Structure 1
Amino acid sequence: MTDQQEELRCIGCGSVIQTTDQQGLGYTPQSALERGLASGELYCQRCFRLRHYNEIAPVALTDDDFLKLLNQIRDAQALIVYVVDIFDFNGSLIPGLHRFVGDNPVLLVGNKEDLLPRSLRRSKLTDWLRQQANQAGIRPVGTTLVSAKKNHQIEALLDQIEQLRGDRDVYVVGVTNVGKSTLINQIIKQRTGVQDLITTSRFPGTTLDKIEIPLDDGHQLVDTPGIIHQEQMAHVLPAEDLRLVAPQKEIKPKTYQLNDQQTIFLGGLGRFDYLKGPRAGIVAYFDNNLPLHRTKLANADQFYDRHIGELLTPPRTDQLAQLPPLVRYEFKTTVKSDLVFEGLGWITVPKGVTVAVWAPKGVAVLLRPAMI
């Protein structure tokens, strides 16, 4: 690149634009660079995807970068606003959050509440969220539900932040893909009337470092970079497939009456085997676009081999080589439980049954008390 190009910066995050390292900060393809120069709107690939697809890509920040930032939070006098994705709560957990926030109070914010069925009482959901946080060693001073995308309950959240922060700064933390940037943009819009300010303007710092938004009393609301949680489905799927499994509207649960020795495939991304138990109803909570297929367990291996990439999608045939092999996990339930595929969804099963689930290697699978 020329010296002149080295001075070009992304108007979203402020990173120096470069066209050589796809994993590095400020990367943009040469063709996109030329289009951006022509239009006067030059974004790095990460900010372009955030702006147009609401997709947050991981970036090559080192562990030392994150540790340094987390130490700043621990040493600050601040209210911690911890944003989680209700649809993927376990994939939203920041390991060791309670260690690095120190004595600072934590306000737990469950985002994307619009994805869950309206029939689910929000008070029950709030209680469930708080209990799950407690089990992870987090004792929030408040728990609230919002939909940043639909601007639902944002004003109530701001009121709660004002009540809890006292004479302190506010740090907003969360893993990638929980909608934290969308939430920050809604907060800015509520306070300034300006839309999409993070991805169209420059604050001190950058989204890859931190963004400091001034509050009325001289304190700051600080947006921190999304922490990468490697065990989410988002890290094994290409962007075009991710859009097929990341819910954008209210989930419509699918109920199946299963006998033992039956299997349900989750597209080609996962598999649920009902091994042992009475005839029972199981409920699947996945994106409405993800095709589910039921078959006999005895035929499941051959069914998968014959139909993966065609009937069982995603992945598509040309993406099969990129999908890690499916790994099997077996569980026996003692209470009504959710079998969670991190970043994909979950299946609710009754107590006293034995099941097996399969997920791509590297994607976490876990058993938790049922949310619904």
Structure 2
Amino acid sequence: MTENNEELYCIGCGVKIQSDDKDELGYTPKAAVKKGLEKEELYCQRCFRLRNYNEITDVSLTDDDFLALLNEIGKSDALIVNVVDIFDFSGSIIPGIHRFVGDNPVLLVGNKEDLLPHSLKRSKLKDWLRQSANAQGLRPLEVVLTSAKKNQQVRELLELIDKYREGRDVYVVGVTNVGKSTLINQIIKESTGYQDLITTSRFPGTTLDMIKIPFDDGSELIDTPGIIHKDQMAHYLTGKDLRLAAPQKEIKPRVYQLNPGQTLFLGALARFDYVAGEKQGVVVYAENNLMIHRTKTAGATEFYAKHAGELLQPPADITNLPELVRFEFKTKEKSDLVFSGLGWVSVKADSVVAGWAPKGVAVSLRKAMI
């Protein structure tokens, strides 16, 4: 973006101003650029909303920019708050983050807790998140479950941040779509008048568009832009499709009586095959409006080829959806077959099951949470 052939930069965060892509760094509507130049106060839209409404919006970085950001974090002495999506751990953990964290302590925050059934034992979920993080080389000090949307457990998170930061800066990191910016906004709201833990009067940034919120002791809470994780289910969906696929409200269990040789399709996004075992009621935990279709396994591949994007939705357009890849498991105990980003299917012990998901999207087996 230029004015008289001169490149323009946001005075709030230093990012180059552009008016072409509202999802990219530095976006500012042309009318706002003109007004900003007249006032000699040119802010990108993200900084403008932050200054005027205390509202942080998510932005994404290129892989190179994000590597530079991670390197900066790795060199610092700081507390890391890593936000992940409870429904999409493998798609929301930052690849290789343990290498950049170094010796810095980590709090792992599992967001979207409000979407879980009340019957799900939170202690089991915390243990699973910790084990999953350990498998990625990450050793969190604590695991916290929050709902940024409903402002649940935000005070508990603030207290843990205050306990562990020991005067250091705090970096909040996460991929896109995990609710990190909503959580930061709740932290700002919650901290107003909350023992003056965070002062929200000024928000300077850097060329990487980090937002720095000062603590009262001179250190800062630093909100970092999200990175796009290419193996997220959400990556392949439009906004309309995402609302039908990703849980929006507390999920309700749906029971399907299956014999071996029967298949459930979760829209066109995933497939569950009951391969072997006794007849049983499998329980599906997914977005309440997600269409589930039962059919015979014998013709399921042909059925999918014929009906994906039509009878089987979401998505309505399967052009960008990778082929479904099969993972087979034998259960030794009551277990959940987890489709990252969608939900899970609960099955009994001594069952042979197969889960199919778009190539790159994880399918895994865990001990049943309910």
TM-score (norm 1): 0.82
Query: Is the counterpart of residue 159 in structure 1 residue 159 in structure 2?
Result: yes
Report deviation, 1:352. 2.4
Report the AA paired with residue 320 of structure 2: Q
Identity of aligned residues (%): 64
- Give the match for residue 332 of structure 2: 334
Q: Is the 8 A contact 1:78 1:168 kept in 2?
A: yes
Q: Is the 8 A contact 1:231 1:342 kept in 2?
A: no
Q: Deviations over 1:144-196 (max 9, x none)?
A: 21111111111121112111211211111122211111111111112237xxx
Report deviation, 1:10. 7.6
Which 10-residue stretch deviates more, 152-161 or 332-341?
332-341
Report deviation, 1:207. 9.3
For residues 221-370 of structure 1, the aligned pairs below 5 Å read 221-316=221-316, 319-370=317-368
Report deviation, 1:75. 2.1
Report the AA paired with residue 342 of structure 1: S
Q: Deviations over 1:83-111 (max 9, x none)?
A: 12112222222233322111111112111
Structure 1 residues 252 and 354, CA, compared in 2 at 3 Å: closer, same or farther?
A: same
Report deviation, 1:356. 2.2
For residues 201-220 of structure 1, the aligned pairs below 5 Å read 203-205=203-205, 208-220=208-220
Q: Is the 8 A contact 2:14 2:209 kept in 1?
A: no
Report the AA paired with residue 62 of structure 1: D
Rounded to whole Å, the distance in 2 between the matches of 1:345 and 1:265 is 13
| Aligned Cα root-mean-square deviation (Å) | 3.4
Structure 1 residues 243 and 15, CA, compared in 2 at 3 Å: closer, same or farther?
A: farther
Rounded to whole Å, the distance in 1 between the matches of 2:253 and 2:280 is 16
Report the AA paired with residue 229 of structure 2: H
Report deviation, 1:35. 7.2
Q: Is the 8 A contact 1:6 1:18 kept in 2?
A: no
- Give the match for residue 198 of structure 2: none
Q: Deviations over 1:235-294 (max 9, x none)?
A: 112222112212221111212221100010111112111111111232212111111011
Rounded to whole Å, the distance in 2 between the matches of 1:245 and 1:5 is 45
Rounded to whole Å, the distance in 1 between the matches of 2:229 and 2:17 is 25
Report deviation, 1:137. 2.7
Rounded to whole Å, the distance in 1 between the matches of 2:6 and 2:281 is 59
Q: Is the 8 A contact 2:284 2:345 kept in 1?
A: yes
For residues 188-207 of structure 1, the aligned pairs below 5 Å read 188-192=188-192, 203-205=203-205
Q: Is the 8 A contact 2:327 2:355 kept in 1?
A: yes
Report the AA paired with residue 157 of structure 1: L
Report deviation, 1:19. 4.9
Rounded to whole Å, the distance in 2 between the matches of 1:290 and 1:207 is 41
Which 10-residue stretch deviates more, 165-174 or 16-25?
16-25
Q: Is the 8 A contact 1:80 1:171 kept in 2?
A: yes
- Give the match for residue 101 of structure 2: 101
Unaligned ranges ≥5, structure 1: 194-200
TM-score (norm 2): 0.83
Structure 1 residues 123 and 339, CA, compared in 2 at 3 Å: closer, same or farther?
A: closer
- Give the match for residue 198 of structure 1: none
- Give the match for residue 77 of structure 2: 77
Report deviation, 1:27. 5.4
Which one has more relative contact order, counting CA pairs under 8 Å at least 6 apart? 2
Q: Is the 8 A contact 2:24 2:60 kept in 1?
A: no
Q: Is the 8 A contact 2:12 2:204 kept in 1?
A: no
Rounded to whole Å, the distance in 2 between the matches of 1:178 and 1:219 is 25
Q: Deviations over 1:312-347 (max 9, x none)?
A: 11122xx23232222233333334333222222222
Rounded to whole Å, the distance in 1 between the matches of 2:219 and 2:342 is 38
Q: Deviations over 1:290-314 (max 9, x none)?
A: 1101111123234323432222111
Report deviation, 1:230. 1.4
Unaligned ranges ≥5, structure 2: 37-42, 194-200
SS at match of 2:299: helix
Q: Deviations over 1:189-240 (max 9, x none)?
A: 12237xxxxxxx9832269532111001111111122233211111112222
Q: Is the 8 A contact 2:25 2:60 kept in 1?
A: no
The aligned length equals: 353
Rounded to whole Å, the distance in 2 between the matches of 1:213 and 1:22 is 24
Structure 1 residues 183 and 260, CA, compared in 2 at 3 Å: closer, same or farther?
A: same
